Structure 1
Amino acid sequence: MNCFTIDVDWAPEEVIQDTLDLFKKYDVPCTIFTTHKSEVLDNCDRDLFEIGLHPNFNQILQGKGGNVEDVMSNLKEMYPEAKGARSHSLTQSGYILEMYRKFGITYEVNHFLPYHQGIKPFILWNGLCRIPFNWEDDYHFALDYPFDDSKIDLMDKRLNIFNFHPIHIYLNSENNDRFTKIKHDQQNMGLLRTVQNIGEVLGTRDILIALLEHVSLNGLMSSKLYDVSLQFGGKK
């Protein structure tokens, strides 16, 4: 089973909509971990898209104030239906896991096992279901891997979980240099359009489309992660 996730990472509304349109085109479900309130996400098809939380605890770790409970409270207030979470930067600790439970989170996706086949969710000591994932767009180009091959066996009937970022999908990033050009001004859609990779070289958007086409055309199973968690003993 091949499942897809998205880390929103404060992307502009047009960029988020662009990503959701691809999943709608191929009728493939996606779990979206959001960093902020978004009108696009508020209005998305909940049959196709699941909204999870993508809390950012980096400011706390850097001594810039705030606390885990407030971060979770603010996000959960925006999307009270959220059952899943993946921390920005994959930050995790026992305390954070307890905060997840306190705010009604039933599964988390912070364990990255790049290119491993046969990943399998399991239940943590506090009842949370931990779902590993085995592919991420920025890790793929950080290793300078080409985007004509995900290095994942898509016909493996066991679980594969892909993670993408809307900004890299929109830019069709093939390396980090393209993102660096807009990193500090990524709300500027005019700037984003000037650095898009359109037919220059295969990139993040190209491989996502190829994966979605493969899943759709071959009738392969794909699920939102809440449903995956239930299959492996997670709580409703």
Structure 2
Amino acid sequence: MRRGTDHARVTNPTRSSQDAPWGPLAAQRRFAVTADQDWAPEWATEALLQWAWEWDVPLHVFQTNPSPSLDGAAGSGTVTRGWHPNFFPGSTHGEDESAVVRHMAGFLPGVRTVRSHGFRESYLAWRELAGAGIRFDSQFPSAFAGHLVPAVHATGIIRLPVWFEDDLWLRLFPHATDVSRLRPALGAPGLKILNVHPVHLALNCPSMDYYDRRRAEIYRPDSDPDALVHPGPGVRDVLEAILLAVRADGEKWRSFEDLCDESADLLSDSADLAVLP
């Protein structure tokens, strides 16, 4: 198994769950790994699945398009899946919100989670998603913040914010692999949902510039992945340092779907977290 190098223990402040409106989700820490497919070539998707297997972390993939690798992994119970619709103008998913949702329901039916491409959203889109059976999103990209808790959208969709977004790290801290700046928030109570992209992980991108300069070649059918991989430290090392820090502290990585269920149970037991019809 490939290992990161920065895995010092993190602190774990305690707080009574009775003092936290979201109970243990606010008073304790919850760790999960998700991924945005983003039309990744199959070799990148396979690298992501192999990485998750090697590190023994449950993986929830928000999917943009059909993928034999993801079909196989979902069929074997290796991953769970949600929608990753593109609501931007000119989207190949559809010309408006209702068309995009119909498209997603057509190729990946029966899921209940969503994260939109580029985090683009509107109330109209979320109303369509709720009508199609979506119950949870992971939509808000935080500033690597502690004390993150769920929230309830006006459509009734329960929102689980993102703690670490790999391409935001690559934009904000290019070529950085030291995770010490993340430790205070990592040790604080709340949701710690990581989001990765297959291409960034497979190539171990050190910056968005590295990815942008290779974008055309990455998506060519005859591309050579080995020639594209960054030879030095990159975002995969950052992710692995976080995984090691969490495990060194005695915590475990949970299924994103389990976090959804826990959030729904807490909401159903509360009278003041949301007022819905």
TM-score (norm 2): 0.76
SS of 2:43's partner is helix
Unaligned runs of 5+ in 1: none
Match of 1:175 in 2: 207
Distance in 2 (alpha carbons) for counterparts of 1:212 and 1:144: 19
On the 8 A contact 2:217/2:223 being kept in 1, the answer is no
Pair 1:30 & 2:30 matched = no
Match of 1:18 in 2: 47
Distance in 2 (alpha carbons) for counterparts of 1:194 and 1:156: 40
Q: Which has the larger radius of gyration?
A: 2
> CA-to-partner distance for each residue in 1:50-82, whole Å, 9 max, x for gaps?
101110111258xxx712222222222222132
Match of 1:197 in 2: 230
Shift in alpha-carbon separation, 1:58–1:99, aligned structure 2, 3 A: same
Instruction: Output the aligned Cα RMSD.
Output: 2.4
Question: Mapping of 1:78-89 within 5 angstroms?
Answer: 78-89=107-118
On the 8 A contact 1:28/1:212 being kept in 2, the answer is no
How far is 1:177 from its partner? 1.9
Of 44, 69, 75, 1:40 maps to 69
Unaligned runs of 5+ in 2: 1-29, 269-277
How far is 1:38 from its partner? 0.4
Question: Mapping of 1:94-173 within 5 angstroms?
Answer: 94-144=123-173, 146-149=176-179, 151-153=181-183, 154-173=186-205
Match of 2:104 in 1: 75
Distance in 1 (alpha carbons) for counterparts of 2:237 and 2:180: 11
> CA-to-partner distance for each residue in 1:166-211, whole Å, 9 max, x for gaps?
111111111112111221332236344323112x2x2111122333
TM-score (norm 1): 0.88
Distance in 1 (alpha carbons) for counterparts of 2:131 and 2:162: 24
How far is 1:223 from its partner? 2.2
On the 8 A contact 1:107/1:226 being kept in 2, the answer is no
Pair 1:8 & 2:12 matched = no
Distance in 2 (alpha carbons) for counterparts of 1:82 and 1:31: 11
Shift in alpha-carbon separation, 1:47–1:220, aligned structure 2, 3 A: farther
Match of 1:91 in 2: 120
Pair 1:184 & 2:216 matched = yes
How far is 1:130 from its partner? 0.9
Shift in alpha-carbon separation, 1:172–1:115, aligned structure 2, 3 A: same
Shift in alpha-carbon separation, 1:224–1:192, aligned structure 2, 3 A: same
Distance in 2 (alpha carbons) for counterparts of 1:139 and 1:217: 25
Of 43, 59, 62, 2:89 maps to 59
Distance in 2 (alpha carbons) for counterparts of 1:226 and 1:100: 18
Identity over aligned residues, as a percent? Answer: 26
**Which structure 1 residue ranges, 4+ long, deviate > 6 Å from structure 2?**
none
